[in-house]
Structure 1
Amino acid sequence: MLVHALVNSARSFRRTSLLSNNQRFYATTRTTVLNSSWRNKASVAALGATVLAFGVLSAKEVYCDAVLEDKKRRTEGPITDSDPMRLRMEAFVKGLQNRIVSDIEQLDGKQFTRTAWERSEGGEGITCVLQDGNVFEKAGVGISIVYGQLPKAAVEQMRHDRGKEISADGPVPFFAAGISLVIHPHNPNAPTVHLNYRYFEIENPDGTPKMWWFGGGSDLTPSYLFEDDAIHFHQVLKDGCDKYDKKYYSTFKQWCDKYFFIKHRGEARGLGGIFFDDLDDKPADEIFSFIKEMGNRFSLSYIPIMKKRMNMKYTNEMREWQQLRRGRYVEFNLVWDRGTKFGLQTPGARIEAILMTLPLTARWEYMKEPEEGSREEDLQEVLKNPRDWIPLN
C-alpha cells in the first residue's frame, strides 16, 4: 500500500499535454455507491489507496478544471485554510515527510536518497529511501500528489474482491494525495513500523469534489515483545483519536487487528495500531485536523521506542527469529494486502516500487516453532490472541 510506489510507476503513465481553456473538454461521470456507511464504501476507499499507490490510469484522456486551477493557485502564494482540500492535504504531507525524514536521519546518522517526479497532466511525488543505514536496514518515506482518471476496471476489481455494490461509468476524474512509510530496523529488539495517511476525491467537471474521503493508520510490528513499547505506541494513538471522537480509537484499533491478520497462519502481522478507510462522517475540515494530528504523532509514537531498543545487544539466534518474522511480514503483503495485490495485477506498474514495503532480508524455515517458555513464544502468543494494550473506552 505504499504511497511512494507511485513515484516509479508514474514513469509508465502515457504522456499527454494539457489543453488550453478553449480546447479543454470535460468528462461527465456517473458514480453510484449504494449504502454510504464507512464499511459499505470501504472498497471505494481501498481503491483510492490503490490508485494513489500505483498510479492506475486508463488509456482515455480526461480533464477537469482542478488541474489547471490548482496549478495557478500554487503560483500565487502560500496555501491557506480557504483553499481546496486538495491543496491543503498536499501542503501537509510535504511538510510531514520532511519532518519525519529529518527525525529518522538524526537517529541513523545516514541521509535518505531522494527521488522526485512531476507529471505534465498534474501531480508530483517525492520518494525518500534509506538503505543499509547504521540503525535502519531499510526505510522508505514517500508522498504522492496525483490528478488522473479512475478506470471502470479498477472499480470492478474492487467490487469483485470486496463484494461491494459499486458501479461507475468512466473514466472518472480523481485526485489523490498522501504520505506512506515503512521502516525496518537492524536490531531484532526494535520494531518495524508502518504509516499511511491519504485523501481521495472524485471530481466534478468544474473541479469541485463529487465524493471525498480520508483513510490511513499506523501499526507496529516487533520481532520481540516489549509490553511497554506496545502500550506507549497505542497510548499515543489513542490520545490523538480522543481529541476528535472517543469512539475512534476503539473502532480503528479493532479494524487494524482485523485487517493486518495473516489468515493462513492464524496470527496478526504485529501488535496493531489504528486503521480506517473512507472516513467522511464529519465535515472535511474536522477530519483533516484529525489526519494532521495523527500524522504529526508519528515521531512521538516511534522514536522513543527506537531510542530504547536500537543499541540493545542481540544474538545470532535473535537475528534468525527476526528474519522469520519478516517472512511473515512478506507473506501478509504479498498474499493479503489489497493494494499490493491490485498493483501486481496492474499493467505497466513498476514491480520494484510495489515491493518497496518488503524488508531487505527475510527467512523461511520448514515447520519452525518457538521453544516453549521462550521470548519468541511470548510474541507468538500475542499475535495469535491480540490484546487491548490500553482500555478501549
Structure 2
Amino acid sequence: MSDQMETQKQRAAAWFHELRNQIVDAFEGLEDSHTKGPFSDQPAGRFEVTKTKRASADGSDAGGGLMSVMRGGRVFEKVGVNISTVYGELGTRAQAAMAARKGIPGMKDDPRFWASGISLVAHMQNPQCPAVHMNTRMFWTPHAWWFGGGSDLNPCLEYDEDTQHFHDVQKEHCDRHDPAHYPRLKAWADEYFYVPHRGRARGVGGIFLDDHNSGDWEQDFGFIQDVGRAFLPAFVPLIEKRREVDFGEPEKDVQLVHRGLYAEYNLVYDRGTKFGLETGHDANAVLMSLPPMAKWV
C-alpha cells in the first residue's frame, strides 16, 4: 500500500470522526433547546459512548470504533451515531458477496480490506418528527477503493414541505460537484430503500451511492464530505418545526407500525447490516438502527 493511500485513509477516518462530533453536539443542542411541547418536561438526553471492537478469527487487532447512543430524551427516543475503522481479512462469505456485487477480481487470493465510516439512525419521541438515516464510508481493498453512503428521511406522518426541504438540501450539496449527481443518486435511493415484500418505500427517499470512484481520490473525498455536510441542514430544521406539535394515540400507533417496516428492511435487505455481522463487528453497534419500540398489524 502506498504512503499516499495510507494518508488518505487516515484523512477519511478523521473526517468521519469530525462529522460524528458535529452531529452529536447538534443533537444534544436540540435536547437542551426543547423547552415547550410534548416531552419537554423530561430531562434532556445525552449520548452514552461505548468503544466497539471487531472480532477477528485469530484474535489479532481488527479495529473498532465508537457507539454513541441516546435513549429517552426530550426529542429523541433512540438515536445512534456510530463511527468505526475496521480492517483485516474478509471471511469467505463476505469475499464472495463483495466479488459478486462489485465485480472485484482477486478477492480470494488477497482478501485484505479496510473500511471506515459513520452510521446514524434516529427514532423520534414525537411522531410528528421524521425518523432519519445517514451514513458515509470509505472502503479499500488491494484491488480497489470507493466511497459510499447517503441519507434518507423516514416520516410516519408525511409533510410535503418537509420532504421538499430534505431533498432540496441534498440537491444543493450534490450540485456543488456535478448537477448530474442528485437525480442519479435520488433514483438510486428510491430503488435501494424499497421494501419488496411490502410493495413500498420505507420512507420518502433521499440520496444513495456506492462504488463511487472517479479515479480522483481528492475529488471523491470532497464529494462524500458534502454528502455528510448536507445532513444537519437537511434534518435539523424539520425537527425544530415539528417537535412542539401535539399528537395523540392514533399518531403514535402509526409511528409504531412504520417502525416495524423500518425494522423489516434493516434486518432483511440492508447491506450494511449484513456486512457488519458477517465481518465480525460488534453486533450491538450493527443493530443500533433498530427502534426501541415497534408493532406489526
CA distance in 2 between partners of 1:82 and 1:331 (Å): 38
- Look up the match of 1:86: 9
Structure 1 counterpart of 2:20, which letter?
Q
- Look up the match of 2:82: 142
CA distance in 2 between partners of 1:118 and 1:292 (Å): 25
- Look up the match of 1:324: 257
- Look up the match of 2:271: 338
* In the alignment, structure 1 residue 130 sits paired with structure 2 residue 70: yes
Name the TM-score, length of structure 2 as normaliser: 0.87
- Look up the match of 1:242: 175
CA distance in 2 between partners of 1:347 and 1:234 (Å): 33
Deviations for 1:212-249, whole angstroms, at most 9, x for unmatched residues?
10000000000111111101000000001001011100
- Look up the match of 1:115: 50
- How well do the aligned residues superpose, as a CA RMSD in angstroms? 2.4
The structure-2 alpha-carbon separation of the partners of 1:201 and 1:165, relative to structure 1 and needing over 3 Å to count, comes to closer
CA distance in 2 between partners of 1:351 and 1:176 (Å): 17
- Look up the match of 1:190: 129
* In the alignment, structure 1 residue 153 sits paired with structure 2 residue 85: no
Whether the 8 Å contact between 1:156 and 1:167 is mirrored in structure 2 is no
Structure 1 residue 291 displacement after superposition: 1.0
Structure 1 unaligned blocks of 5 or more: 1-64, 70-80, 204-209, 366-393
Structure 2 counterpart of 1:275, which letter?
F
Structure 1 residue 343 displacement after superposition: 4.7
* In the alignment, structure 1 residue 310 sits paired with structure 2 residue 243: yes
Counterparts of residues 236-275 of structure 1 (less than 5 Å): 236-275=169-208
Whether the 8 Å contact between 1:152 and 1:170 is mirrored in structure 2 is no
Structure 1 stretch 106-115 or stretch 346-355: which is displaced more? 346-355
The structure-2 alpha-carbon separation of the partners of 1:219 and 1:321, relative to structure 1 and needing over 3 Å to count, comes to same
The structure-2 alpha-carbon separation of the partners of 1:347 and 1:214, relative to structure 1 and needing over 3 Å to count, comes to closer
Structure 1 residue 173 displacement after superposition: 2.0
CA distance in 2 between partners of 1:142 and 1:191 (Å): 20
The structure-2 alpha-carbon separation of the partners of 1:287 and 1:221, relative to structure 1 and needing over 3 Å to count, comes to same
* In the alignment, structure 1 residue 100 sits paired with structure 2 residue 59: no
Structure 2 unaligned blocks of 5 or more: 32-43, 55-59
- Look up the match of 1:388: none
- Look up the match of 2:114: 175
Deviations for 1:53-87, whole angstroms, at most 9, x for unmatched residues?
xxxxxxxxxxxx78xx8xxxxxxxxxxx9972101
- Look up the match of 1:359: 291
Question: How many positions carry a matched residue from both structures?
Answer: 280
Whether the 8 Å contact between 1:326 and 1:363 is mirrored in structure 2 is yes
Structure 1 residue 169 displacement after superposition: 2.4
Helix, strand or coil at the partner of 1:291: helix
Whether the 8 Å contact between 1:269 and 1:328 is mirrored in structure 2 is yes
CA distance in 2 between partners of 1:182 and 1:279 (Å): 22
CA distance in 1 between partners of 2:173 and 2:200 (Å): 27
Structure with greater Cα Rg: 1
Deviations for 1:192-231, whole angstroms, at most 9, x for unmatched residues?
000010001113xxxxxx4110000000000111111101
Structure 1 residue 352 displacement after superposition: 3.2
Identity rate, percent: 41
The structure-2 alpha-carbon separation of the partners of 1:117 and 1:249, relative to structure 1 and needing over 3 Å to count, comes to same
- Look up the match of 2:214: 281
The structure-2 alpha-carbon separation of the partners of 1:336 and 1:82, relative to structure 1 and needing over 3 Å to count, comes to closer
- Look up the match of 1:9: none
Match of 1:216 among 149, 167, 174: 149
Name the TM-score, length of structure 1 as normaliser: 0.66
Structure 1 residue 188 displacement after superposition: 0.7
